Structure 1
Amino acid sequence: MTASQGTGLDIVPFVDLTAQYPAIQGEVDAALRDVFERCDFILGRAVEAFEGAFARFIGVEHAVGVSNGLDALCLSLRGLSIGAGDEVILPANTYIATALAVSAVGARPVLVDCDPSTFEMDVAGIEAAINRRTRAIIPVHLAGQAADMRSVMDVAQRHEVVVIEDAAQAHGTQYEGVPVGGLGAVGCFSFYPGKNLGAYGDGGMITTHDAVLAARLRQLRNYGQQVKYEHVEKGVNARLDSMQAAILNVKLRHLPAWNQAREQHAQAYLDLLDGVGDIRFQSPVANSTHVYHLFMIVSDHRDALQAHLTAAGIQTGIHYPIPIHLQSAYQDLGYGPGDFPHTEYLARRMLSLPMFPELQEHQIKRVTTAIETFFI
Structure 2
Amino acid sequence: MQFRDLKKQYQVLKQDMDAALTDTAASAAFIMGKPVKELEAELAAYVGVKHCVSCANGTDALTLALKTWGIGKGDAVFVPDFTFFSSAEVVSLEGATPVFVDVDKDTFNLDAADLEEKIGETVAKGELTPKVIITVDLFGLPADYPRIRKIADTYRLLILEDGAQGFGGEISGKKACGFGDISTTSFFPAKPLGCYGDGGAVFTDNDEWAALLDSYRVHGKGQFKYDNVRIGMNSRLDTLQAAVLKIKLKAFREYEVADINRAAARYTEKLQGKVKTPVVPEGYYSSWAQYTIRLDSKEQRDALQAVLKEQGIPTMVYYPTPMHDQTAYKNLKVPVGSCPVAEQLCHTVLSLPIHPYISEEDIDSVCEGILTFIAKK
Q: Offset of 1:93 from its aligned partner?
A: 0.9
The 2-side partners of 1:199 and 1:332 are apart by 36
The corresponding residue for 2:358 is 359
Q: Where in structure 2 are the equivalents of 1:16-27 lying within 5 Å?
A: 16-27=5-16
Number of the residue aligned with 1:319:
318
Which residue of the partner structure matches residue 4 of structure 1?
none
- Does 2:370 align with 1:371? yes
Which residue does the alignment assign to 2:261?
263
> Which residue of structure 2 aligns with residue 168 of structure 1?
164
Q: Which amino acid aligns with 1:143?
A: F
- What amino acid does structure 2 have at the position aligned with 1:66? C
- Alpha-carbon deviations, 1:255-308, whole Å to 9, x = none? 1311111110111001111222xx102222342111111000000211111111
Contact 1:147/1:285 (<8 A) preserved: no
Q: Which residue of structure 2 aligns with residue 153 of structure 1?
A: 149
Tell me what 2:343 maps to: 344
| Aligned pairs for 1:50-129 within 5 A | 50-129=39-118
> Per-residue CA shift, 1:214-249, capped at 9, x if unaligned?
111010000111212110000110111110011001
**Partner Cα distance (1:242, 1:69) in 2:** 17
Q: 2:35 aligned to 46, 50, 54, which one?
A: 46
CA distance in 2, matches of 1:325, 1:49: 40
CA distance in 2, matches of 1:336, 1:29: 53
Question: How do 1:248-287 and structure 2 match up within 5 A?
Answer: 248-256=245-253, 257-276=255-274, 279-287=275-283
Amino acid at match of 2:324: H
Q: Is the CA contact (8 Å cut-off) linking 2:218 and 2:225 kept in structure 1?
A: no
Q: Determine which of 193, 204, 207 is the counterpart of 2:203.
A: 207
What is the alpha-carbon distance in structure 1 between the residues aligned to residue 139 and residue 313 of structure 2? 20
Superposed CA offset, 1:182-220 (max 9, x none): 122111100000011100000000011011111110100
1:191–1:198: 8 Å Cα contact kept in structure 2?
Answer: yes
Runs of 4+ in 1 over 6 A off after TM superposition: none
Q: Could you tell me which runs of 5 or more consecutive residues in structure 2 were left unpaired when the two chains were aligned.
A: none
Moved more, 282-291 or 195-204: 282-291
8 Å contact 2:271–2:277 — kept in the other structure? no
Cα deviation per residue 1:8-34 (whole Å; 9 max; x = unaligned)?
xxxx22122111101111111222222
Distance in structure 2 (CA, Å) of the matches to 1:98 and 1:302: 26
1:92-119 deviation line (CA, Å, top 9, x unaligned): 0111110011111111000100111221
Letter of the 2:216 counterpart: L
Unpaired runs of 5+ residues, structure 1, are 1-11
Partners of 1:154 and 1:201 lie apart in 2 by 37
Identity %: 37
Q: Is the 8 A contact 2:32 2:239 kept in 1?
A: yes
Q: What's the counterpart of residue 133 of structure 2?
A: 137
Distance 1:34 1:157 in 2: 47
**1:332 corresponds to 2:321:** no
One-letter amino acid of the counterpart of residue 57, structure 2: N
Q: How many residues align?
A: 363
Q: Which residue of 243, 246, 257 maps to 1:246?
A: 243
Q: Which amino acid aligns with 2:160?
A: I
Alpha carbons 1:220, 1:233 under 8 Å: kept: yes
Indicate the SS of the match to 2:284. coil
* Residue of structure 1 equivalent to 2:221: 225
Aligned partner of 1:91: which letter? P
Equivalents in 2 of 1:273, 1:286: separation in Å? Answer: 20
**For structure 1, which segment, 125-134 or 321-330, has the greater mean C-alpha deviation from structure 2 after superposition?**
125-134
Partner secondary structure for residue 330 of structure 1? helix
| Matched letter for residue 341 of structure 1 | P
CA-CA distance at 1:71 after TM superposition: 0.3
Q: Secondary structure at the match of 2:136?
A: coil
* Aligned equivalents of 2:369, 2:42: Cα separation in 1: 42
Paired with 1:319 and 1:53, the residues of 2 have a C-alpha distance of 31
Superposed CA RMSD in Å reads 1.1
Determine if the alignment matches structure 1 residue 182 to structure 2 residue 178: yes
Cα deviation for residue 82 of structure 1 reads: 1.0
Aligned to 2:293: 297
Distance in 2 between the 1:204 and 1:49 partners?
15
Secondary structure of 1:346's counterpart equals: helix
Report the CA distance between 1:336 and its aligned residue: 4.4
